[in-house]
Amino acid sequence: MGVEHQQGTWTQLKLFEQEGSVCHGASGEGGTGAAACEEGQATTALNRERALTSKLMERVCERENLNRAYKRVKSNKGAPGIDGMTVGELYGWIKEHGEGLKASLLDGSYEPDPVKAVEIPKPSGGTRELGIPTVVDRLVQQAILQVLDPIIDPTFSESSYGFRRGRNAHQALKQAAEYVEEGRAVVVDFDIAKFFDRVNHDVLMARVARHVKDKRLLRIIRRLLEAGVMHSGVRVRRYEGTPQGGPLSPLLANLLLDDLDKELENRGHRFCRYADDCNIYVRTIRAGERVMASMVRFLEERLHLRVNPDKSAVAYVEERQFLGYRLLRGGRLGIAPRSVARAKQRIRAITRRNRGISLTRMIRELNAFVSGWVTYFRYAACKMALQRLDEWIRRKLRCVRLKQCKRPKAIYAFLTRLGVPGWSARELAGTGAGWWRKARTPQAHQAMSTAWFRDQGLVSLSVRYAAFQP
């Protein structure tokens, strides 16, 4: 069925192209003919769009598309939903129920399950609720996403960078830095309060309907939004919001906020948006305050979203952060203090002295975190900050290793084995100072030097950072 539809669509496209070429040939006969041609071309484009999007469910259900969706869901892994089915069990379920799934999608009767609510800590404090769909619903969402994304994504703003193919946070930061370098040193930084929880379903579906004419697909997307959340065995219906955790949510979020992007473009503003994090760059505080007031009205009246006044501000760029970085005058980038504080919090958790794991395993876990962290912040001017962080990490590890010795005799043996003179090792082993103070002594530094940590395989942030610099 899907193949027949695809062939029919392409036949239709060829006919449209022939009509367009005939009209183009007639356009030189006069102004009236040119106007008629333009009108005909607009009608042809609209008919082409309707033809391409009125039978999207057949494309969703094509074997190749469903196979790609299955491979993506399997590679993403993820926790089971409310039915307890794991990703590993999905293949067997598809073999038994795959045809029934396709039939329910094609006739529009598919009913998604509620998502499982999971609370995760936010870096800034508090918790964020994720909704974990069942693996079958994730398969369906992924199959829909693969069809809709090539249709909808090309219509998005060039200033939108989040959750889009070929775009990333570093590109957004580079663009923001260029705006600051041009002299736009004031940022309008607004935070949309609980964005994913407060998306208005009617407003969102109106945006989806601009691109999708297949009523079956529109019904199923609506059901996915309204499927509800399972809290402690109780199903709670959703009347607004799009649950974070499903493959389709990022595309829907970008689709809704594309109205904001287009409004900013129409007004000639310079901005960067990454998901619901949007910064607008202007030259003066007064201009920024005007922009903030008008954008708050737009978001509340047009998109039914609310701006959090406590987390939003008009300020000079160095006073705010964007995607973990801090923009500096002249367009340079630095690491935001909060990003360093979060990194330290994570390192503290890894190097906790009562974890009861070997130093080797601790270093392995630490390397996995700091390697990714410094890779993300490689564009920041932060050489000195990373050197200080390296020193702090080594002190944490010295503290752990000394505590693992437990008794003075073991500390003495450990230090002397690493070249510390006996009298000096005996002095540290016999002191009543705490482990943190012991880790800063000359004996600890001599035994567990920077070279010693390098031999243990510890990744140095400053060395890794230097490798990225030109």
For every residue of 284-309, DSSP letters joined together read SHHHHHHHHHHHHHHHHHHS---B-T
In whole angstroms, what separates CA 73 from the centre of its chain? 17
Predicted local confidence at residue 389, as pLDDT? 97
Predicted local confidence at residue 42, as pLDDT? 44
Predicted local confidence at residue 36, as pLDDT? 46
Predicted local confidence at residue 49, as pLDDT? 52
User: Would you give per-residue pLDDT tens digits along the chain (470 residues)?
Assistant: 443 333 333 223 232 233 333 343 333 333 444 444 444 444 444 445 544 577 899 999 999 999 999 999 999 998 999 999 999 999 999 999 999 999 999 999 999 999 998 877 776 666 777 889 999 999 999 999 999 999 999 999 999 999 999 999 999 999 999 999 999 999 999 999 888 888 999 999 999 999 999 999 999 999 999 988 877 667 777 777 787 888 999 999 999 999 999 999 999 999 999 999 999 999 999 999 999 999 999 999 999 999 999 999 999 999 999 999 999 988 999 999 999 999 999 999 999 999 989 999 999 999 999 999 999 999 999 999 999 999 999 999 999 999 999 999 999 999 999 999 999 999 999 998 999 999 999 999 999 999 999 999 999 999 999 999 98
- What is the Cα gyration radius of the chain? 29
Compute how many other C-beta atoms are within 10 angstroms of the C-beta atom of residue 163: 16
Name every residue whose Cβ is closer than 8 Å to that of residue 431 and which is 6 or more positions away in sequence. Answer: 438
Name every residue whose Cβ is closer than 8 Å to that of residue 416 and which is 6 or more positions away in sequence. Answer: 422, 425
Q: Is 408 helix (H, G, I), strand (E, B) or coil?
A: helix
Name every residue whose Cβ is closer than 8 Å to that of residue 41 and which is 6 or more positions away in sequence. Answer: 20, 23
Q: Nearest to residue 227, comparing CAs of 121, 399, 143, 112?
A: 112
Predicted local confidence at residue 245, as pLDDT? 83
State the burial class of residue 363 (Cβ atoms within 10 Å of its Cβ: 0-12, 13-18, 19+).
buried
Confidence (pTM): 0.83
Predicted local confidence at residue 126, as pLDDT? 65
Predicted local confidence at residue 1, as pLDDT? 41
Predicted local confidence at residue 124, as pLDDT? 62
Predicted local confidence at residue 9, as pLDDT? 30
Angle between helices 359-376 and 461-468 in degrees, nearest 10:
30
Name every residue whose Cβ is closer than 8 Å to that of residue 425 and which is 6 or more positions away in sequence. Answer: 411, 412, 415, 416, 443
Residue bearing tokens 């701006």: 307
| Cα(164)–Cα(251) distance, integer angstroms | 8
| Cα(208)–Cα(201) distance, integer angstroms | 10
Please, are residues 174 and 139 in contact by the beta-carbon 8 Å criterion?
Answer: no
